[in-house]
């Protein structure tokens, strides 16, 4: 993976001020160096400037970027962040049309695919990507993002210039682009975050290219089009056929994503999703006479303080060794020290450019750094619960009756900490409801659905377009801040398309969550692992973390210059410090944003306002 950035201006010749423009591009790319520590490249054209920092994974020696190719006298240049999993299929197709390749990289394949097919190339791609191409033949820019937004892409327009980057911090290095929060941005942070409305960059005038879209920029302006969407329809396969199809799609997705010219591993929790990926990976590597490396995560003293809950019924302690033994993996047990969780809160904020899941993000950042010491690529189990219906709210009556996001029914705790004037101005309940209704209006309808199935399809759509994209964004930022590439096999669009229309009576047959996936794992996983109840990414239950994060909040409250005090009521913040351990209201994002995680979020919000010198309108 990599970091990409640059700017486009059709009203001026950028080559004339090449030195100045390269200096700007260099500053922007420096902010992305963590995403691509292996090499650096830049290109200046008449109307575009590209910069690129590379994490070398495929064809390490020859895949340098920005990459240029000249066809019939026309120059095409690409800067690309991502990984294609059907590279060989597309390469063979292009060879049949007479194209010759000088590298083994997917970058060259992607560039020639665009040269030959134009914007229709987007429909051919299987992978995770965000890329920008200069097309001298058509005198235009073509930018594209993967179907689920695994790879980030932000942009802003300043006068005649369009500036783009993989991360927000890079945009702010362009002259006169700064971190400003208006009402919309504040509503995003207090009503929805750590999730974010697709297309919204939170900061004023900053946008995000939504997943499954491509953008064309020429001297006449900008056009954005959607190239892929879910289609609702009747599922015609039998239960047995469905299981076989799911097994085939999952196996093929994992197998494709094991391709790498650098060491590869998997994250292993002992849960259904990571175990399936690990099992397939281990079997495929064994065919080559190799052992798969695996990593598991836990917190210091978690065995002492762990508390079972509705969201996290058990810990991973006994399940990981079961998988390691079953598949003879080269396993590393990683344990996050207590002090790291607060020490890395600020670095996790800087990695994401926005407040997130507090210690859950901080721990992931720590773990990714540890994994990077020996591996550059890992496979992870995100997205399975969103598409197979693994979360509690797929079954909870309240989710079917509530007009809102099923993971955040209640914003009262967030409303409560705001200053009265800020609360009245923002009206975060109304903002959340508006964004919810916008999303519901996008759900592809199938006339054959009854009311219950229609609602469950809505919940699934919300999960894919909100909950899942948030987890993918988090995983990208924490891993890429460590120079680590994370691949997500359950995000294969072929699998998502198929599972989207599997009826609930199959997905939840015999009242067993993710039944179809569990049945598909028969003969692959040990039976006890295959039937293990869902348990999410772990969070710490150590009371010392709550004490530590409260100390940070106390320091903020005591600082008269703390920027968050311009938004939050000091008395209400102080009340969070009183008493013992508490969830501080109803769960937000399941168990991920409850209790001390909410205090950690407030601390990260203050870091954001301070470190980015945010101006509030």
The class of domain 2-226 in CATH terms is alpha beta
d(CA 239, CA 97): 41
d(CA 601, CA 454): 34
d(CA 601, CA 233): 40
Query: Model confidence over 569-609: pLDDT tens digits?
Result: 999 999 999 855 555 555 566 555 667 889 999 999 999 99
CA–CA distances in Å: residue 54 to residues 2, 65, 302, 342, 366: 5, 8, 37, 30, 22
Query: Model confidence over 453-505: pLDDT tens digits?
Result: 999 999 999 999 999 999 999 999 999 999 999 999 999 999 999 999 999 99
* Strand spans (E) along 377-457: 377-379
**Domain pair 2-226 / 239-530, same fold:** no
Tokens 């993996």 belong to residue: 329
Cβ proximity of 591 and 306 under 8 Å? no
- Catalytic center residues: 2
d(CA 488, CA 475): 10
Q: 3-class DSSP state for residue 173?
A: coil
Query: Model confidence over 114-138: pLDDT tens digits?
Result: 999 999 999 999 999 999 999 999 9
Tokens 């890079």 belong to residue: 170
Q: 3-class DSSP state for residue 105?
A: coil
Query: Model confidence over 251-295: pLDDT tens digits?
Result: 999 999 998 888 899 999 999 999 999 999 999 999 999 999 999
- Domain map of the chain by residue range? 2-226, 239-530
Residues of the chain above pLDDT 90, percent: 82
Architecture label for domain 239-530: 3-Layer(aba) Sandwich (3.40)
Residues of the chain above pLDDT 70, percent: 93
d(CA 14, CA 34): 27
Regarding pTM above 0.75, the answer is: yes
d(CA 148, CA 466): 10
Q: How many CA atoms lie within 13 A of 325 on its CB side?
A: 7
CA–CA distances in Å: residue 416 to residues 421, 551, 577: 12, 21, 14
| Confidence label for 30 from pLDDT (cuts 50, 70 and 90) | very high
* Strand spans (E) along 167-281: 180-181, 206-208, 213-218, 221-226, 264-267
Q: What is the pLDDT of residue 261?
A: 81
How does strand 154-158 pair with strand 161-165?
antiparallel
Closest of 509, 6, 19 to residue 240, by C-alpha: 509
Q: Which two tokens stand for residue 42?
A: 């830049």
Burial 594-614 (b: 16+ CB within 10 A, else e): bbbbbbbbbbbbbbbbbebeb
Please give the average per-residue pLDDT across 311-318, as a whole number.
Answer: 64
Q: Length of the chain, please?
A: 617
Instruction: Kindly report which listed range (96-110, 365-379, 532-546) carries the lowest average pLDDT score.
Output: 532-546
d(CA 32, CA 153): 13
């Amino acid at each position: 993976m990599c970091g990409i950035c640059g700017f486009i201006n059709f009203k001026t010749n950028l080559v004339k001020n090449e030195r100045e423009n390269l200096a700007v591009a260099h500053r922007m790319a420096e902010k992305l160096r963590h995403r691509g520590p292996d090499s650096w490249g830049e290109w200046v054209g008449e109307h575009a400037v590209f910069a690129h920092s590379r994490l070398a994974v495929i064809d390490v020696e020859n895949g340098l970027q920005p990459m240029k190719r000249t066809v019939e006298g026309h120059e095409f240049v690409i800067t690309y962040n991502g990984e294609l999993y059907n590279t060989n299929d597309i390469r063979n197709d292009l060879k049949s049309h007479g194209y010759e390749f000088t590298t083994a990289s997917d970058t060259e394949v992607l560039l020639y695919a665009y040269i030959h097919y134009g914007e229709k190339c987007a429909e051919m791609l299987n992978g995770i990507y965000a890329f920008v191409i200069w097309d001298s033949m058509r005198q235009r820019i073509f930018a594209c993002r993967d179907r689920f937004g695994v790879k980030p892409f932000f942009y802003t327009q300043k006068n005649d210039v369009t500036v783009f980057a993989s991360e927000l911090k890079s945009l702010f290095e362009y002259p006169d682009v700064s971190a400003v929060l208006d009402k919309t941005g504040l509503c995003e942070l207090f009503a929805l975050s750590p999730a974010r409305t697709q297309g919204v960059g939170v900061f004023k005038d900053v946008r995000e290219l939504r997943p499954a879209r491509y953008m064309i920029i020429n001297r006449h302006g900008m056009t954005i089009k959607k190239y892929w969407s879910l289609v609702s329809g009747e599922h015609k396969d039998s239960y047995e056929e469905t299981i076989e199809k799911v097994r085939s799609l999952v196996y093929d997705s994992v197998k494709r994503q094991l391709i790498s010219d650098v060491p590869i591993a998997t994250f292993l929790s002992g849960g259904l999703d990571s175990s399936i990926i690990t099992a397939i990976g281990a079997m495929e590597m064994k065919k080559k006479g190799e052992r798969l490396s695996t990593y598991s995560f836990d917190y210091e003293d978690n065995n002492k303080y762990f508390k079972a809950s509705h969201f996290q019924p058990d810990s991973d302690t006994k399940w990981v060794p079961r998988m390691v033994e079953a598949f003879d993996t080269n396993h590393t047990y990683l344990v996050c020290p207590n002090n790291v969780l607060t020490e890395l809160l600020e670095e996790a904020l800087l990695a994401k450019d926005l407040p997130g899941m507090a210690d859950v993000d901080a721990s992931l950042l720590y773990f990714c750094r540890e994994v990077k010491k020996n591996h550059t690529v890992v496979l992870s189990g995100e997205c399975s619960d969103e598409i197979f219906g693994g979360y509690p709210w797929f079954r909870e009556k309240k989710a079917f009756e509530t007009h809102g996001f099923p993971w955040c029914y209640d914003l009262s705790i967030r409303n409560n900490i705001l200053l009265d004037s800020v609360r009245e101005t923002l009206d975060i309940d109304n903002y959340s409801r508006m964004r919810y209704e916008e999303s519901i209006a996008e759900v592809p309808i199938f006339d054959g659905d009854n009311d219950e199935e229609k609602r469950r399809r809505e919940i699934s759509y919300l999960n894919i377009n909100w909950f899942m994209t948030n987890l993918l964004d988090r995983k990208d930022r924490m891993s890429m801040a460590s120079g680590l590439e994370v691949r997500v096999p359950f995000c294969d669009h072929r699998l998502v398309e198929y599972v989207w229309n599997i009826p609930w009576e199959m997905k939840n047959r015999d009242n067993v969550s993710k039944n179809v996936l569990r049945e598909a794992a028969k003969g692959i996983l040990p039976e006890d692992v295959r039937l293990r109840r869902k348990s999410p990414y772990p969070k710490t239950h150590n009371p010392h973390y709550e004490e530590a994060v409260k100390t940070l909040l106390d320091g903020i409250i005591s600082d008269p210059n703390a920027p968050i005090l311009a938004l939050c009521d000091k008395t209400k913040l102080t009340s969070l410090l009183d008493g013992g351990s508490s969830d501080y209201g109803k769960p937000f994002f399941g168990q991920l944003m409850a209790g001390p995680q909410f205090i950690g979020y407030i601390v990260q919000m203050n870091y954001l306002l301070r470190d980015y010198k945010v101006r509030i309108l």
